[in-house]
Structure 1
Amino acid sequence: MTTEKKPVAPRTATLDDTLLVGGVLARAFHDDPMTAWFFPEPTAREARLARYFGTLFARQYAHHGVCERTDAAAAFWVPPQGRAKAVPDAETAAELTGLLGDRAPLFRQAVEAAAAHTPAEDHWYLAVIGADPAAQGRGQGAALLRSGLARADAAGLPVLLESSKAANLPVYEHFGFTVTGELRLPGGGPPLWAMRREPRAAAGG
């Protein structure tokens, strides 16, 4: 007798989930080339990443984005109406600067470079998505991705993201994204791949 895998149900992430979200994303991004570039000390990386993602979530995305989680994955989305506000304010920027140390100027340059390539048209933006490696293969990241894409499709809008890991490109391509450009992080950092997905009609629509 076989047991069917229970579908993963994304839920809205609240401020009470800040520690969970920060920890999940820290583990998800521990070996990511971009986060390793900004947080080069491996022994301190996970703790700093947990604070980094927790700060972004609690101060910005939880208020101006659409944030969802499962038990072992989290995603931050920015709808068109949240674009102007889902950027770090002065206090958040100061906290991130303290975490990044001497990498802070490079981080600011990277944010500015990515912003310069962002089209003015309305779109949904997938700012962050990650799953704890211990939960790999359980469909938790995919469930969060489908949930956000469904919102964008319902609005008839494209979705943009930047992938910082080459191994993830086929995953996003499976969900309909295509690479539109390659950016290089300042200071000799690793590449980022800009990706875009056009809206799809709802099933049966």
Structure 2
Amino acid sequence: MSIPNTPKTATIDDASTVGRTLALAFDDDPMMRWFFPDGAARAAGLGRYFSTIFTRQYARHGVCEYTEAAAAFWVPPGAQDKAVPDAGTIGELSEILGDRAGLFRKAAEAAAGEGPQEPHWYLAVIGADPAAQGRGHGAALLRSGLARADAAGLPVYLESSKPANLPLYEHFGFTVLGEVQLPGGGPALWPMRRGPAPRPAGV
């Protein structure tokens, strides 16, 4: 039996489900393995990390959607400044990250410096449970957000921390803008941009 992959709006009540899904999705992500090097504790740490940024940032100032096996956090134009971690969020994330908190802050600053100045939609997080790979969960969430940006005539920006995902994003029209080496000996990030789809003639 197929698993439904129609995007639904995520609310605060979905935090544990969203956190658990994204923990599975990012278990093999180079950047998250750098932040959570202890394999035995990684799943719990990732779950807390994603639940925290969801409830304190993106559920409040973004557009969050999920399926039964994937989740995505989008930030609309004009809300980027609001979606950054406040002091309380930073404190909570620091407790979760432990001795990697300093590296996390430097990495976040490095990534933030790459963002475009033009109005845009920002795809902050997207991930699917590897057990559901090939069932279209991530693609459904990606199409949903891209349709929203296209309707507004705006580009979309993201940073990929996993080189294997670059071809997938390129398939959806993204272009790699460069490569950013994270400070402190961290892995690379690839900023990517997708322009809005052309509007049909007469629209």
> What is the TM-score with the length of structure 2 in the denominator?
0.96
User: Distance between the aligned counterparts of 1:20 and 1:8, measured in 2?
Assistant: 15
SS at match of 1:82: coil
- Aligned pair 1:121/2:122, yes or no? no
Q: Quick one: structure 1 residues 6 and 103, their matched pair in 2 at CA, closer, same or farther if it must change by over 3 Å?
A: closer
Quote the offset at 1:141 in angstroms. 0.4
SS of match in other structure, 2:127 = strand
Alignment of 1:86-165 (within 5 A): 86-165=83-162
Aligned to 1:192: 189
Distance, in Å, in 2 between the alignment partners of 1:6 and 1:57 is 23
Tell me the secondary structure at the aligned position of residue 50 of structure 1: helix
Q: CA deviation at 1:20?
A: 0.3
Letter of the 1:89 partner, please give it: D
1:71-122 CA-to-partner distances (Å, cap 9, x unmatched) read 1100000011211110111101000001111111111111111111112210
TM-score (norm 1): 0.95
The count of corresponding residues between Structure 1 and Structure 2 is 202
| Selected match of 2:37 from 36, 40, 43 | 40
Q: Secondary structure at the match of 2:71?
A: strand
Alignment of 1:14 onto 2:25: no
**Residues 136-179 of structure 1 deviation map (CA, whole Å, 9 limit, x = unaligned):** 11100000000000011111111000001110000000000010
* Distance change in 2, residues 1:106/1:83 (3 Å): same
1:190 maps to a residue whose letter is P
Contact 2:4 2:67 in 1 (8 A): no
* 194-203 vs 5-14, greater mean Cα deviation: 5-14
Q: Secondary structure at the match of 1:51?
A: helix
Aligned to 1:61: 58
**Identity fraction in percent:** 69
Q: Does 1:82 align with 2:102?
A: no
Distance 1:138 1:96, change over 3 A: same
1:202: Cα distance to partner?
4.9
